[in-house]
């Protein structure tokens, strides 16, 4: 073997050995980085979660927000399936984000409620009504965040926030904890906990906009819902208090249908889907709520939740660029005694779980 052949032979051996070494490296399941600072100088952290299947979830402490969720298609190609941004500045300007919504998600009629004989007046930030926790809410604050100790087959980050008594005019010091876990089963699990020192309404959700194609609109996505009932609302999207069936309406997804198939029937108000569905299980156990399929990529997402309701929102102000599955209690529950209660009292612990599970076909 001459010099050049011997050199080439050794070069190949080195490359093979290097490849084996990289393959033998343990998976770095979680990584912490700086993501920038708010205008008052508060640092914002980013956590990168990885699983053994190649999925990646990125979470920042601003708004407890999922900035990116990489999921494989039928060929294994990755694309982010949530709408997000690359810089903190974009989030500070109000980009549509997969943030945690609270203290109360969705709407409260006339921006007021009465609890234990006391009337509380809230910010009217949606016409005369209150929405998504107020003018700041949980989506626009910096949470305390830390990675949880490494565990087999999953990576997790936990975020906490103390919402002080009187914040957004809600009563009670509310301690909130949200845990994001990415599993090797290609699941992103969201677990919420909250305690209070004074009776207060609590209704937490995540407002992620999903697009399983990673681009374009979601009108061609195929949707199945495990719900045959919803809460009718007036033209300002305040529930009437009734519970009605979806059969014979454009809201019926009990048979798999594309999101855009009947969306024109909902215009001009609310210009698409923005409806709360009543889920099976009554909020007592983890149930399958929805299945979303994108035919071109083959990506499939299942939504499972312990919540009694789910707001389906078809990104109407974004030209249907994403679809939301806001697992939650019903809108305006605090003013509707026949709806599942959102009142949390001292000594109780609010607990809720939602799982977004991904596959491809």
CATH code at position 47: 2.70.98.10
Model confidence at 25, in pLDDT bands (50, 70, 90)?
confident
Nearest to 241 by CA among 316, 117, 335: 335
Side-chain half-sphere exposure of 323, counting CA atoms within 13 A: 29
Q: Examine residue 310 and state whether it is found in any structural domain, yes or no.
A: yes
Q: Examine residue 275 and state whether it is found in any structural domain, yes or no.
A: yes
Does the pLDDT of residue 341 top 80, yes or no? yes
Which residues are CB-contacts of 53 (< 8 A; sequence separation ≥ 6)? 72, 184, 186
Nearest to 184 by CA among 20, 29, 23, 360: 29
Is 302 among the residues known to form the active site? no
CA–CA dist 204, 328 (Å, integer): 6
Nearest to 231 by CA among 101, 338, 120, 351: 338
Q: Examine residue 161 and state whether it is found in any structural domain, yes or no.
A: yes
Q: Please report which helix (H) or strand (E) contains residue 13, including its range.
A: helix 3-24
In which domain, by residue range, is 100 found? 30-360
Total domains present in the chain: 1
Report pTM: 0.92
Q: Examine residue 10 and state whether it is found in any structural domain, yes or no.
A: no
pLDDT at 24: 52
CA–CA dist 314, 321 (Å, integer): 8
Mean pLDDT over residues 190-218, rounded? Answer: 98
Q: Is residue 159 within 8 Å of residue 148, measured between CB atoms?
A: no
Q: Examine residue 16 and state whether it is found in any structural domain, yes or no.
A: no
Q: Which of 129, 187, 326, 329 is catalytic?
A: 326
Q: Map residue 323 onto helix, strand or coil.
A: strand
CA–CA dist 312, 305 (Å, integer): 14
- Provide the mean pLDDT of the chain: 94
Model confidence at 269, in pLDDT bands (50, 70, 90)?
confident
What letter does residue 135 receive in the DSSP assignment?
A: S
Nearest to 103 by CA among 175, 158, 45: 175
Q: Examine residue 249 and state whether it is found in any structural domain, yes or no.
A: yes
pLDDT digits (tens, 9 = 90+) for 142-194: 999 999 998 889 999 999 999 999 999 999 999 999 999 999 999 999 999 99
Does the pLDDT of residue 260 top 60, yes or no? yes
Q: Examine residue 300 and state whether it is found in any structural domain, yes or no.
A: yes
Is 207 among the residues known to form the active site? yes
Q: Examine residue 210 and state whether it is found in any structural domain, yes or no.
A: yes
Please give the distance of CA 307 from its chain centroid, rounded to a whole number.
Answer: 13
pLDDT digits (tens, 9 = 90+) for 270-324: 889 999 999 998 888 999 999 999 999 999 999 999 999 999 999 999 999 999 9
Which residues are CB-contacts of 178 (< 8 A; sequence separation ≥ 6)? 64, 100, 143, 158, 159, 160, 190, 191, 192, 193, 204
Model confidence at 268, in pLDDT bands (50, 70, 90)?
confident
CA–CA dist 159, 204 (Å, integer): 14
What percentage of the chain reaches a pLDDT higher than 70?
Answer: 93
pLDDT at 239: 98
Rounded to 5 degrees, what angle do the CA atoms 285, 289, 294 make? 145
Q: Which of 129, 130, 132, 207 is catalytic?
A: 207
């Amino acid at each position: 073997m001459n010099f050049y052949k011997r050199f080439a032979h050794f070069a190949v051996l080195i490359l093979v050995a290097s490849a084996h070494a990289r393959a033998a490296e343990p998976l770095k399941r979680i990584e912490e980085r700086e993501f920038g600072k708010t205008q008052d100088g508060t640092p914002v952290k980013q956590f990168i979660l990885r699983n053994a299947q190649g999925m990646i979830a990125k979470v920042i402490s601003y708004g407890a927000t999922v900035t990116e969720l990489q999921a494989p298609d039928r060929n294994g190609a990755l694309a982010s399936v949530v709408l997000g941004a690359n810089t903190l500045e974009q989030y500070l300007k109000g980009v549509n984000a997969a943030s945690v919504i609270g203290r109360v998600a969705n709407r409260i009629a006339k921006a007021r409620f009465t609890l234990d004989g006391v009337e509380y007046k809230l910010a009217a930030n949606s016409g005369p009504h209150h929405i998504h926790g107020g003018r700041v809410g949980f989506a626009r604050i910096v949470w305390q965040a830390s990675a949880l100790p490494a565990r087999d087959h999953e990576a997790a980050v936990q975020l906490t926030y103390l919402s002080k008594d009187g914040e957004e005019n809600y009563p009670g010091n509310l301690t909130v904890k949200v845990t994001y876990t990415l599993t090797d089963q290609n699941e992103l699990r969201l677990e919420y906990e909250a305690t209070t020192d004074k009776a207060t309404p609590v209704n937490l959700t995540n407002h992620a906009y999903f697009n399983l194609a990673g681009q374009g609109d979601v009108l061609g996505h195929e949707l199945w819902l495990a719900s045959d009932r919803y809460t009718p609302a007036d033209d300002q999207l305040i529930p009437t208090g009734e519970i009605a069936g979806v059969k014979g309406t454009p809201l019926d997804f009990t048979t798999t249908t594309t999101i855009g198939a009947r969306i024109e029937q909902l215009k001009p108000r609310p210009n698409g889907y923005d409806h709360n569905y009543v889920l099976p299980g009554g909020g007592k156990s983890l149930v399958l709520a929805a299945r979303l399929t994108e035919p071109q990529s083959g990506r499939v997402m299942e939504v499972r939740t312990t919540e009694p309701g789910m707001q389906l929102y078809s990104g109407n102000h974004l030209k249907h660029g994403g679809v939301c599955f806001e697992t939650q209690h019903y809108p305006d529950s605090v003013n509707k005694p026949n709806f599942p209660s959102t009142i949390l009292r001292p000594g109780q612990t609010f607990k809720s779980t939602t799982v977004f599970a991904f596959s491809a076909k």
